[in-house]
């Protein structure tokens, strides 16, 4: 019996606390980055070391920061590829990733690894592309998440909650970085009905 008790102690010491994954998704102009910023401040106030990551592809906010549409900025580290996420988070216990659609489906495994290691992870990004199709890594991450916050803005055509992002400029590229000059929020019905 004593032997079993020693073994249990060892198991408890070697098994890290299970991680927590939250997903913040939705169309552009829904307040996703502002939501992340509130989470970052809350975790810092709890004394946690927060690793804030932003994909290198997102050039809108410039290097070294995430920026919400309300103009607020916060420092962030640039991540070149999903495979670097775990190493960049080494000194933190909380990881926040903005604009995660730029990292694609390759982000799923690093997130699984962070959860195994007991991290609190929050991943934000656009979950449908300009054609209305699902954007990786969100289908997989939503199925793993402890909480999914799907945010919406306001449809520019009818004022209903926006669930889609309409592209206003001609481009076949799935990844076209832009702001209000290139995209606008629309509800599902105006997204289909009004030409882009």
Please give the positions annotated as active site: 99
In whole angstroms, the minimum distance from the beta carbon of 149 to Zn ion comes to 22
Stated as kind and residue range, the H or E segment containing 29 is none
Options 13-21, 134-142, 165-173, 182-190: segment touching Zn ion (CB under 5 A): 182-190
Q: Which is nearer to Zn ion, 19 or 27 (CB)?
A: 27
Q: How many residues at the interface with Zn ion, by CB under 5 A?
A: 6
Is there binding between residue 30 and Zn ion (CB under 5 A)?
no
Site string for Zn ion, 121-160 (x = CB under 5 A): ----------------------------------x-xx-x
| Torsional class of 193: left (φ above 0), alpha (ψ -120 to 50), beta (otherwise) | alpha
Asked whether the beta carbons of 68 and 74 are under 8 A apart, the reply is: no
Is there binding between residue 166 and Zn ion (CB under 5 A)?
no
In whole angstroms, the minimum distance from the beta carbon of 139 to Zn ion comes to 24
The two three-digit tokens of residue 54, written as one number: 């932003």
Q: Which is nearer to Zn ion, 61 or 160 (CB)?
A: 160
3-state secondary structure of 122: strand
Is there binding between residue 193 and Zn ion (CB under 5 A)?
no
Per DSSP (E only), the strands in the chain are: 20-26, 50-55, 65-67, 73-75, 77-79, 94-97, 120-126, 147-150, 153-154, 161-162, 164-167, 183-186
Give the C-alpha separation, 69 to 32, whole Å. 9
In whole angstroms, the minimum distance from the beta carbon of 158 to Zn ion comes to 3
Query: Would you tell me which residues interact with Zn ion (CB under 5 A)?
Result: 155, 157-158, 160, 187, 190
């Amino acid at each position: 019996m004593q032997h079993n008790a020693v073994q249990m102690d060892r198991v408890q010491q070697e098994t890290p606390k299970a991680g927590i994954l939250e997903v913040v998704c939705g169309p552009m102009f829904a307040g996703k980055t502002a939501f992340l910023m509130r989470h970052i401040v809350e975790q810092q106030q709890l004394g946690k070391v927060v690793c804030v990551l932003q994909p290198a592809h997102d050039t809108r906010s410039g290097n070294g920061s995430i920026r919400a549409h309300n103009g607020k900025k916060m420092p962030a580290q640039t991540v070149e590829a999903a495979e670097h996420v775990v190493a960049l988070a080494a000194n933190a216990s909380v990881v926040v990733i903005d604009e995660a659609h730029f990292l694609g489906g390759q982000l799923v495994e690093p997130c699984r690894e962070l959860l195994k290691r007991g991290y609190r992870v929050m991943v934000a990004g656009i979950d449908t592309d300009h054609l209305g199709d699902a954007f990786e890594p969100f289908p997989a991450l939503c199925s793993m998440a402890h909480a999914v916050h799907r945010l919406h803005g306001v449809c520019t055509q009818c004022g209903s909650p926006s669930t889609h992002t309409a592209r206003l400029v001609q481009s076949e590229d799935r990844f076209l970085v832009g702001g209000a000059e290139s995209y606008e929020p629309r509800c599902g019905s105006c997204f289909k009905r009004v030409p882009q």
